[in-house]
Structure 1
């Protein structure tokens, strides 16, 4: 007699569940965390045994064997609830699965329910059977009240487990859609149970093994990376990007997508293509990434860690830890060290050279007087006096470095035009003319900003400028003088203490400009494309629109 297609479909479905669980069991044994491994292996093994006894129920040749197979399927199936809760507790970092009271209560409940099931042939309160011929010859099951009470309790406990998983995904700021998809697949057999109970369209048996097997295989093969990444990052509040074995983006949490908008929609793309600056930084000795968050510059330490399933590496996890406070202190210390080095270079070069000149001229004057050459002596002493005056100017410049090179305290909104006017009045600019293009406020220390501008103006005057132009942009300003152009001199040399660029009499004016900019977190550089003289650009400033504090 030909076998019914419906019967073959049932056999294939439950047979596939048994085979899938057998394959998944080996995979589950490779999970690194011991408790998670035991729980997941128990779920897979219980689901496989459940499906196996359901299959035996379908193919057993006698009514007695069918009855025994179905009874045993209920016993094994109930064990998956305990394994499921054990897995969920271990995976989410809870300790319920290790609590002695909970474990004893679970075992006692399980033994009590199993006792009712195994004695069903005596009392018949759990289920009854009736031979039927449609849709194929089988033993129809009519579940009793106790079965539905146990089923309700089991579904409630399973729901608690799913709640623990969802809570972990949400706390880790990961996409919950993969978990939602697996929940949907797992819950679908429950609907089949209801249809089988309420109508003759389906055989009234337990379809849950199919759903549990689908969940286990989904965790172990389809979404293994996501589930492993979430467990590894439990309790980590940082931005995280998960890469597969080929360094392609597999997953990232919400904090990462907020920090790097390029990640949105980039799943499956090479990490180097999506975030090339981060990929390059990972190879540095100090892999710190700078980002702007809510208008504030913040720093994140990028670290990557390989992780594996069993003996095989399955990907990398890139974690971005906020180290803004530490990095700011490090950069400030670095700036102080550079400033001290510059201070030493300035003293060594400027003051010692000047003292040597003064000493040499005084010696020449003395020798000239011994020979009776009064004119030569007078000229030498005049040069020594002028050099001494220049030394006073250098000392004043050094005092600016010492006084204003300290860590910046409070800042305020400063009217840029007023700061330019005050600095112009302070600087020794003779009869130079000044023009200002652009306006607005800048967040700065008023005194340091004025000193910065005054030093730039003094340099322009020394460099032979007849006109100084100040420009104000959104996050920058520039001071240009139409004096001697830099020529072939390296632009960086203009800002180095002790470099004597463009000549020794320039003092340390532009180095002080760079230092006063660095104190604010700005950068100063020479515009190499400016050919009419020297143009100093101060960038990365913070522009503020609106009236100055205290203004009407």
Structure 2
């Protein structure tokens, strides 16, 4: 028979089952490389059984004699039934269930399989399963006339296959990212059932088993086309953290919903390099601690960024980047770090003040002794008075440090209050030495009012020691500033003003700004000096959070003429 005489329909069927067989052979190497052992066993069994089923259906079509066709079809029924068990094993393992490990289920499945196989193999004797007939359309072929037992077994098989579909779709629905490609692929796997129905009910298609075609499409799809999504679903089953998947070139392939909510830029970044879309994440992956600081829902949050390769066999096909929320632990770590720095600062301040005080007291006592020997009683009295005042100042400093140590813990209990009232209370309790205060703007802030009052009191004390005549408190978008018209910072290092024990600009003012910063940091605020300000000193307190602004107002307190 010449090729030109062969029916196109026959060629189409031969090509379809030939390609299905080849696809299963190609997919087998990838299936054997799947990392999870149970999923690998189930998928390998499914691919092998389906490939064998497709090859036997192909043989049924092309073998020359009726006897050979009959034998190929009986064997296809045996192998095809095995795909049901392989499918259920795979679906159970892939979705994290344990049905495939249950000894009772496995023994029952083997018993049912052997019973059905026995009926199929003995069909030539009893004919309860199918009969055959030779027909000429759409091309000469042996057709199958199914009997009642076939439909009973088919109904049971379809019901069991549907259970596998349910397990897969349930997992896809629970997955926190786009699983539509996988869902569509699973749908294509089940589509041949419609072909079976059409083939049985009409002459549009051959009455033959089409299921191997669907399984072949599924195997190639999950192992070659959507392999990242296929592996991602199983890898992240039960993972509540944000996850981003990268290919082997560190380009963004997939991400779950939590990652998209955390990084909105991901929505349009598929195929883009990670370091271009999320440079902070790339930097965190390369850093020693792997900690990423983000603003999440208006609050600062910390995530541990970790990655691991995911592979098919020995081949790396990408990386999984996981973001674990470590905000509570990181805040505790940073709080301990801040407290350690604070304690070191206290120790430095106490050492500095003690040495300074002892030197002054020792010098004044020596002067008083020499003055008494020379009969200068007045000089001796003045020197002893200075020594006494210095010792009292040291006592006050120690008391202040004890108070600061008590206030040094991070603020937990906060209340909302009028900032202007706290500013004026701090002004009233401070020795302002005739300075004038201007309040520019008003706001409400949520904090510890006692500590905030101490923040301003230290700022005002610094201004008094800095030779200021006016102080202005101005509300900003994310905090406030304290500005005086005293001596400017000049060439001095701004950080030295906030270091305990450095005595900047003088010994008496040396602890005011360190105390101010420490009290502000217990709220999570940031304190700096505006180095570009040349008309005095401007203290900038930021990261205060949302200030509930009020109408602009200006008030003056402490006018010397008053």
Could you tell me the TM-score, scaled by structure 2's length? 0.92
**SS of 2:269 mapped into structure 1:** coil
- Of 503, 509, 524 in structure 2, the residue corresponding to residue 521 of structure 1 is 524
In the comparison of the two structures, how many residue pairs are matched?
Answer: 547
Determine helix, strand or coil for the equivalent of 2:324. strand
**Aligned twin of 2:373:** 370
Label 1:74 to 1:439 Cα distance change in 2 as closer, same or farther (>3 A). Answer: farther
Contact conserved, 1:415 with 1:442, CA < 8 A, in 2? yes
Residue number in structure 1 paired with 2:421: 418
Contact 1:249 1:267 in 2 (8 A): yes
Shift in Å at residue 347 of structure 1? Answer: 0.3
* Cα deviation, residue 92, structure 1: 2.0
CA contact (8 A) 1:125 1:144 kept: yes
2:205 to 202, 206, 211: 202
Q: 1:294-373 residue pairs with structure 2 within 5 A?
A: 294-373=297-376
5+ residue gaps, structure 2, are: 551-562
CA distance in 2, matches of 1:59, 1:427: 103
| 1:388/1:178 CA distance change after superposition, 3 Å | same
CA distance in 2, matches of 1:522, 1:143: 80
1:490 to partner: Cα distance: 1.7
Q: How far apart, CA to CA, are the structure 1 residues paired with 2:521 and 2:446? A: 14
Is the 8 Å Cα contact of residues 242 and 317 (structure 1) preserved in structure 2?
yes
**Who is 2:559 aligned against?**
none
What secondary structure does 1:136 align onto? Answer: coil
Q: What residue is the counterpart of 2:65 in the other structure?
A: 62
Q: How far apart are 1:392 and its partner, in Å?
A: 4.6
* Whole-angstrom CA distance in 1 between matches of 2:538 and 2:150: 87
Distance 1:350 1:95 in 2: 70
Distance 2:296 2:366 in 1: 63
Change (3 A) 1:31 1:427: same
Q: 2:434 aligns with which of 428, 431, 434?
A: 431
CA contact (8 A) 1:397 1:509 kept: no
Alpha-carbon distance, 1:448 to partner: 0.8
Q: Find runs of 4+ consecutive structure 1 residues off by over 6 angstroms.
A: none
Residues 440, 543 of structure 1: 8 Å contact kept:
no
> Quick one: distance in 1 between partners of 2:484 and 2:159?
79
Alignment of 1:384-403 (within 5 A): 384-388=387-391, 390-403=393-406
Q: Where do residues 6-21 of structure 1 align in structure 2 (5 Å cutoff)?
A: 6-21=9-24
Match of 1:258 in 2: 261
2:8 equivalent in structure 1: 5
For 1:236, the equivalent position in structure 2 comes to 239
Q: Is residue 43 from structure 1 mapped to residue 61 from structure 2 by the alignment? A: no
The aligned counterpart of 2:151 is 148
Q: Structure 2 vs 1, CA of residues 265 and 190 (structure 1 numbering), >3 Å: closer, same or farther?
A: farther
Whether the 8 Å CA contact 1:351–1:394 is kept in 2: the answer is no
Q: 2:294 aligned with 1:291, yes or no? A: yes
Which residue number corresponds to residue 505 of structure 1? 508
Q: Distance in 1 between matches of 2:175 and 2:427?
A: 56
Of the structure 1 ranges 289-298 and 241-250, higher mean CA displacement relative to structure 2 is found in: 289-298
Aligned twin of 2:496: 493
Q: 1:539 matched to which residue of 2?
A: 542
Distance 1:350 1:236, change over 3 A: same
- 2:133 is aligned with 1:133: no
Structure 1 regions of 5+ residues with no counterpart? 548-552
Deviation for aligned residue 1:15: 0.6
* 1: CA distance, partners of 2:437 / 2:148: 96
- Alpha-carbon distance in structure 2 between the residues aligned to 1:36 and 1:182: 18
Match for residue 460 of structure 2?
Answer: 457
How many Å apart are 1:120 and its aligned residue? 2.6
Q: Contact 1:25–1:45 (CA<8 Å) still a contact in 2?
A: yes
Q: How many angstroms does 1:197 deviate by?
A: 2.1
> What secondary structure does 1:502 align onto?
coil
Give the SS at the match of 1:543.
Answer: coil
Structure 1 residue 497, shift from structure 2 partner:
0.8
The answer to whether structure 1 residue 482 and structure 2 residue 506 are counterparts is: no
Partner SS state of residue 146, structure 1? helix
Distance 1:489 1:158, change over 3 A: farther
* Cα shift readout 1:443-466 (whole Å, capped 9, x = no counterpart): 111111111111111112221222
Q: Which residue does 2:557 correspond to in 1?
A: none
Query: Residues 147 and 539 from structure 1, CA distance in 2 versus in 1: closer, same or farther, beyond 3 angstroms?
Result: farther
Which one of 26, 31, 37 corresponds to residue 28 of structure 1? Answer: 31
